[in-house]
Amino acid sequence: KQEVTQIPAALSVPEGENLVLNCSFTDSAIYNLQWFRQDPGKGLTSLLLIQSSQREQTSGRLNASLDKSSGRSTLYIAASQPGDSATYLCAVRKTGTASKLTFGTGTRLQVTL
Amino acid sequence: DTAVSQTPKYLVTQMGNDKSIKCEQNLGHDTMYWYKQDSKKFLKIMFSYNNKELIINETVPNRFSPKSPDKAHLNLHINSLELGDSAVYFCASSQASGTGNTIYFGEGSWLTVV
């Protein structure tokens, strides 16, 4: 059974800092991994999707990496801003299980002024 | 334009009632999902439909019955609501089952059973 863990559970950083969020998964037979952002009282917004054959994806100040063999992914946020404050979730899609995404527990990020 | 829309956004109801949450996507996707987010913010899949056919049912009580009248709609009907059903329910869609395409989520429906 796939288990996805995110560390840390919560993080507070001053504006302008670079930061790394971690995601680990127990079964390396994944099809892809997706990072989401969830604002309080809102739905999920997709940030980056990495296919199992890829090592990283970049979008603006965000960079996500994937090391499938070790079961790890990181989300790097450069020059953090207060608007980045949200909960960040990673989710993996396992090979052969059609549509199912298994979510991590999330990292709650607070970027302070 | 809202890609995945679900209604109602908030729903407060008494135990034992039957309620429905509707979901529509205008992205032309052929796969739709229902996820549940519990009080600890943990998201877990409930159902997945591909081209109106059920492909995932994650041991959800049979009080929950999804209905997909067409590819663009996946509604969730809940019978005999219980206190433990209180949660946020998210509808989502993606292009196709088993591919690498991004999954898009609705804004969520906050269900409170009293």
| Whether residue B28 has pLDDT greater than 80 | yes
When pLDDT is cut at 50, 70 and 90, the band that residue A70 belongs to is very high
User: What is the pLDDT at residue A99?
Assistant: 62
Which residue out of A99, A102, A108 would a mutagenesis test of the B interface target, given it has the greatest number of B Cβ atoms within 10 Å? A99
Give yes or no for residue B97 having a pLDDT over 70: no
Contact A105 B41 (CB under 8 A): yes
Confidence of residue A1 (pLDDT cuts 50, 70, 90): confident
Distance CA A3, CA A80 (A): 29
Interface of B with A (CB under 8 A): 4, 31, 33, 41-45, 48, 50, 55-56, 58, 90, 92, 94, 97-98, 100-108
- Three-state DSSP at B76 gives strand
List, as own/partner pairs, every contact residues A48-51 make where C-beta atoms lie below 8 angstroms and the sequence separation is at least 24, other chains included.
A48/A75, A49/B100, A49/B101, A49/B102, A51/B100
Q: What average pLDDT does this structure show over A77-103? A: 87
Q: Tell me, what's the pLDDT at B57?
A: 76
Residue B30 has pLDDT above 90, yes or no: no
Helices (H), A15-96: none
**Which residue on chain B is closest to A107 by alpha carbon?**
B41
| Phi, psi for residue B88 in degrees, rounded to 5 | -105, 130
